[in-house]
Amino acid sequence: MADSYDPPLSGTRILDLTSGPMTAVGRLFADLGAHVTALHVPGITADDDVVGPHVDEVPIQTAINRHGMPVVDVEGPAEFEGLLAGADILIENTRPGSAAETALSVRRLRERYPALVILSISDFGRDNDYRGWQGTTPVFHALSSELSRSGIPGREPLIPPAELPYHVAAAQAAVMTAAVYLDRLRTGEGDLIDFSVLDGAMQTLDPPFGSAGSASAGVAVSAQQRDFNAEQQRYPIIACKDGHVRMCVLAKRQWHGMFKWMGSPEEFADPSYDKLGKRFRSPELLATIERFCADKTRAELEAQGQAHGVPTAAVLTLSEALNAEHFTARGFFRDVGLAAGVVAPVPVGVTEIDGHRASALNAPNPAQADRPTEAPLLKTRDRRGEGLPLEGIRVLDLGVIVVGADTGRLFGDLGADVVKIEHSAHPDGLRIGKPTSMTQPFAAGHRNKRSIGIDMRTAEGREYAHRLVKISDVVLTNYKPGVAEALGMDYATLKEINPGIVVVDSSAYGPNGPWAKRLGYGPLVRAAVGFTNLWTYPDDPDTFCDTVTVYPDHVAARIGALSAIALLLRRERTGAGGSASISQAEVMLSHLAADIAADALQRGGRAGADAPADDAIWGLFPAAGEDNWIAITARDEADREALCTVVGAADLEAVRAWTAQRSKTEAMEILQNAGVPAGAVMHANELPGWRYYEQRRAFREELHPHGDVPFMMENVQIHCDHVADPPLGQAPLLGEQTAEIAAELLGLDAAEIEELHERGVLETPPVS
């Protein structure tokens, strides 16, 4: 069966000049079948910027990211030019203002090789006043606003585990690069992408103005502060006989299941407890649930909770998660030689393509594949001339909540015609309130889409959906495994209708394995894979602080979008579509890959980097004012000397005294201008007014006709010469374009559309 696997990016030639954590971009492309060559170019590439933890002098994260890639030491300009002439994509991350940036001169390369797609990565982008600033994991967490929501009030904000800003930014960078490359095959014209790691981290980890889960909907952005008690109410973590479990009791049906599970206690029988607010305001209820769980094991609570429709997951350690039967059954890890004598388990790709793990470990030799030169199918598509790379592509969006919203929205922002299929009998969880109202999370996650109301429970409704499939390119779903099959929207069914269709499904734990049909929400998945257990203060292991963060939903959406675009690229070679499946649990575990490998090698270590010394200037420091903080990260002796020049001494007490006398932004600017990576811990409502984000056109305000107040939302997703800012299409009400789509795409006349509405096959809820 492995012999029949055709990697979607087979034939694509990529030259990778990067070093450090953003080598993760090349890894994503290599696992999808691209031929990625790591280049060492004198005067341009950095040989010492590697990422640990170090085991036997091997930098584990760098070794994982580079595993299996050919490495070429370029001897001179002629050899470099020859390699460029045969490449499709160039990835580089020279530091702005450096001699390496000048020597590489990507603008010159852009002129000399106009068909080349260049991904130019830097910490803060190259087109603004902050181009010389430097970032690190804590700095990116601080300046994306994520850190302001992590931790317990009264303590310093809590830096999450792993090097998440880089991992999620890499996924965003890969999506944008693949989209531009697909368009290049159609037009013959490449582009230069100015990618900022900070932008990618802000948009893809826990975006404050993106789509959000139902638990935080309705909370004003100015109120999105650290509120440990409220977080514990949303997805409570309950102590039990042998550890902890996390539960989800948000929906009415979940509460009814919990109520019955506890034996229908009379004190909570009043119908008012059906309302989420009533339950949140009842300390007695949480205390009762805690007593109910105290004498039961994690396994018992998991099984009983799932049986009662109450999503429940054990809070596992990373080691417990890795030894769980589910991940063994799915074959997610494989022992790999990272260096001589250094063998460790590493993830076998984060996407399944046509039922195969998309990994360089499973692919034929990418160097032998023919290089694609054009996109014959896409060349037949009309373009609207809006300067968007995915114009002419039609996407059917059956996705729900955050992953569903973001995957389709990425396509819409890049020019695709995205049609959301939905129905009021099973509304998207992001649609909160009346069907004629609009919330910020839905407006942010479903902009640039149209909505058609179809009752997919009926055979006739499914037939109309299948007619849309015939004239579409991509179908997106993120149902629990088995639901798409029941609706006739699985790949096996749809490829018979349209052999060129690309189907992407995302689920909590993947399409198969012992946990496949578990009820999964992001916080529960984090608990089950060991992430929650790592997201604690070192001196208090029971302070689980990951509840409010919407992770990995946004990055899983990017992996889904990347997989879909890769399959569209393969379709240009073969004419056939394909399927992709993404497990959100495995996306998270891939971000812990370095930690997992180091642990297996019995050395331990901090994921993605070597642990700083006890006296290192690395972490959060108090700034003037109440609960104001700044992240400062002195990476090496040069940083310490720069810090000493500013502060007068480079010890912890001196730095704390210095920051406490200054505002967080003043301290940040002074330190960054001196060359020390530093970032003010910003709250969500501070981001749109910060000059950096203004210069990057990162946000825009929208007055939606069905919203009560103006909505702030993300704006530019990609900075490059030939790609316009996202369109201004506003998120639709449920079924708002039903008649329009039925006439335009299904060819129905007004009388047929009216009759189908009367019978409930089509739906357009009235606007009051």
Residue at token pair 């369109």 = 727
> What is the largest distance, in Å, between two alpha-carbon atoms of the chain?
82
Of 750, 564, 721, 640, nearest in space to 127 by CA: 721
Give yes or no for a contact between 528 and 316, defined as CB atoms under 8 angstroms apart: yes
Distances (CA, A) of 108 to 43, 81, 114, 115, 116: 16, 12, 10, 13, 12
- Strand order from edge to edge, sheet including 678-680: 618-622, 629-633, 678-680
Q: Going along 342-496, which residue ranges are E strands? A: 342-347, 352-353, 356-357, 394-397, 417-422, 449-454, 474-477
- Minimal CA–CA distance to 94: which of 155, 16, 190? 16
Report residue 461 as tokens: 């409704």
For residues 313 and 308, give the distance between their C-alpha atoms in angstroms, rounded to a whole number.
13
Contact 346, 333 (CB under 8 A): yes
Tokens linked to 247: 């539960």
The CA distance from 540 to 375, in Å, is 56
Task: Clarify whether 553 is annotated catalytic.
Answer: yes
φ, ψ of residue 39 in degrees (nearest 5): -105, 140
Residue 380 burial class via C-beta count within 10 angstroms: exposed 0-12, middle 13-18, buried 19 and up: exposed
If phi > 0 it is left, if psi is from -120 to 50 it is alpha, else beta; for residue 125 that is left
Catalytic residue, chosen from 490, 553, 595, 639, is: 553
- At 724 the three-state DSSP class reads coil
Structure tokens at 229: 């008690």
Please, which residues have CB within 8 angstroms of residue 543's CB and are 6 or more apart in sequence? 152, 158, 536, 537
Q: Which residues of 237-393 form beta strands (DSSP E)?
A: 237-240, 243-247, 312-314, 333-339, 342-347, 352-353, 356-357
Report yes or no: 74 and 83 within 8 Å, Cβ to Cβ: yes
Give the 3-state secondary structure of residue 405: helix
Task: Work out the number of other CB atoms within 10 angstroms of the CB of residue 432.
Answer: 15
Within 8 A by CB and 6+ apart from 666, the residues are none
Q: What is the DSSP string of 470-489?
A: HT-SEEEE-PPTTHHHHTT-
Backbone angles phi, psi at 353, to 5 degrees: -110, 120
Pairing of strands 474-477, 394-397: parallel
Instruction: State the distance between the two ends of the chain, measured CA to CA, in whole angstroms.
Output: 56
- Do 554 and 168 meet the contact criterion of CB atoms below 8 Å apart? yes
- If you ran DSSP here, which 8-state letter would residue 18 be given? -
d(CA 202, CA 341): 39
Pairwise CA distance, residues 295 & 678, whole Å: 47
Helices (H), 506-552: 522-528, 531-534
Residue pair 345/336 in contact by the 8 Å Cβ criterion:
yes
How far is residue 75's CA from residue 81's CA, in Å, rounded to a whole number?
11
**Which H/E stretch holds residue 111?**
helix 106-112
Evaluate whether 756 touches 762 at the Cβ level (below 8 Å). Answer: yes
The residue written with tokens 């890890």 in the block is 333
Say if CB 120 and CB 113 are below 8 A apart: no
Q: Which residues belong to the active site?
A: 553
